[in-house]
Chains A and B, each alone.
Chain A
Amino acid sequence: MSQVIAGTESGLRILVVEDEVMIALELECLLEDLGHVSIGVAGCSADAIALGRSTAPDVAFVDIHLTDGPTGIEVARALSADPRITVLFMTANAKRIPPDFAGALGVIDKPYSERTVANALDYVLRRRAGQAPQAESLDGLCLAPRVIG
């Protein structure tokens, strides 16, 4: 369980929390195309939290509806408690996100385009590098209110 997958030089290590196998698989391919590394896929909240804790990814993409119900919020709260993990919701159900975003940085609405995913990860990379990116570069990524404020 404790196998550590290293990120590439500029790439991010990413956990995909998604119960739809097709979406998860395609997202992993896309992440690799974009130069990032998938450290795994979790379809339920328990797996997601366990995998997140054991691998401490740079980014976790979290869907709200998982195999055990609308537990993505709980997953986001657990994972974002670790300051090393940036949580991004990725959902067709953004209305369920609580006002504090459960600690997540923002949300990407489904159905998403490849461009949105690429831009969101770019934004995360620049934030980690200490740069404050322009608001107009946030195409398709909706930030949590506390991040904007």
Chain B
Amino acid sequence: MTGFPRKAGFPPGVTVDVFAAAFEASPTPMVVTDPRRPDNPIIWSNAAFLTLTGYDRDELYGHNCRLLQGPLTDRATLDALRATTAQGGAFECELMNYRKDGTPFWNGMTISPVRDAAGEILYFFSAQADMTDKHRLEAALRDANGDLEREVGERTADLRAALAQKTALLHEVDHRVKNNLQVIASLMLLKARRTPVGEAREAVQAMADRIGALSTVHRMLYSAGDAAHFDLEAFTGELVADLTAGLAPDGPRVEIAAERLALPAAMAAPLALLLHELATNAVRHAFPGPEVRAGRVRVSARRCPEGMDLAVEDDGIGLAAAAACPDGFGRTLVAMVVRQLRGTLHWSDAGPGTRADIRIPLAGDRAP
């Protein structure tokens, strides 16, 4: 033996017995092996190591540490340990080891060579710690995480299924509403066709047209993908197109000046009825026959500070002349719908023609 490195020398007054006593009393399990003897046997261990492993000193001394290994000890970690220590390196790992009574435990260890002054490896020193509780906690955490993920997955699947069911139900209801509107419109039109030309037939036809306006609202509300809003500009376009489709080419022209306004769906049906009534009234009654009269009807809709301004104006026969026409239902309907929308209605002479101004408040969440 050539002696140990000088820097490891003891301070004055401290003897090797102090360290022997300190190591023996340490709660950290420790072991020393001698690689220069055959099979690198254990030559020393402290009391904590005996407690950890369950062996007595005489059962350990002279034996290789592999007596702690068992079926679940990781071979790859052992190979790495051997390779590193063979080259004189230090190694840290956690290995599954077995006590004398066969119970396994997770052994967290550091292994380091002890060299002499010349650098020759004389011993290997290893300190251990029982990591079983840590591994148990990790496993419990993994299980808990797994459970949580499974639970979240199940809940998400439940919610998806509920949403799919709700969507399917909405489609079904939407389909039924549209189909029923079509049946109602068809019924009215069939009756109109079988009614002799005259007042009764016109009344039934007018009802069919009103249902048509409501149908247009439904078609546009649910096909645009956004069932909560209603585009007044697009709706006015459709409505006027339907209205003018049946007119003589040299009859009144209908102009639209509607701003893009996304209105709440709840306002869609009353607004549709209102616009339909006003526009139809203008086209049908402002330019009475018998000969076809050219003319102009203008439908406008725009935002205003209070909400929305609607106006329907024609250059036809005017209020005074139209008042003689006893077709009161359209006007009554307009007044009722304006009241429902909490709006104001004002009829005026447009000189020539008639003008209806409607202001509808849009407050709070009803604002466009």
Contacts and interface: CB of A to CB of B under 8 A. Distances in A.
Chain B associates with chain A: yes
A69 to B, nearest CB: 13
A94 B190 CA distance: 25
Interface of B is mostly: helix
**Most A CB within 10 A of own CB, among B174, B185, B218:** B185
A66 B32 CA distance: 89
A62 to B, nearest CB: 15
Contact of A25 (B190, B212, B215, B223): B190
B241 A111 contact: no
Interface of A is mostly: helix
21 contacts: A20-B182, A20-B183, A20-B186, A22-B183, A25-B186, A26-B185, A26-B189, A29-B190, A30-B189, A65-B175, A92-B175, A92-B176, A92-B182, A94-B223, A110-B179, A110-B181, A110-B182, A110-B219, A111-B219, A113-B215, A115-B241
For the complex of A and B, list the 5 residue pairs with the smallest distance between their C-beta atoms, beginning with the closest: A92-B178, A111-B215, A26-B186, A115-B245, A111-B182
Nearest to B223: A109
B193 interface: yes
B186 A27 contact: yes
B171 interface: yes
Interface residues of B, number: 26
Interface of A: 20, 22-23, 25-27, 29-30, 65, 92-95, 109-115, 118, 139
Nearest to A114: B245
Given A92-B175, A111-B218, A118 B182 contact: no
Contacts of B174: 92
A112 B220 CA distance: 11
A114 B244 CA distance: 12
Contacts, number: 68
A92 B189 CA distance: 19
Contacts of B182: 20, 23, 92, 110-112
A26 B183 CA distance: 9
Contacts of B39: none
B242 A113 contact: yes
B185 A111 contact: yes
A139 B241 contact: yes
A92 B215 CA distance: 11
B53 interface: no
Contacts of B193: 29
B241 A109 contact: no
B178 to A, nearest CB: 3
Contacts of A26: 185-187, 189-190
Nearest to A139: B241
B216 interface: yes
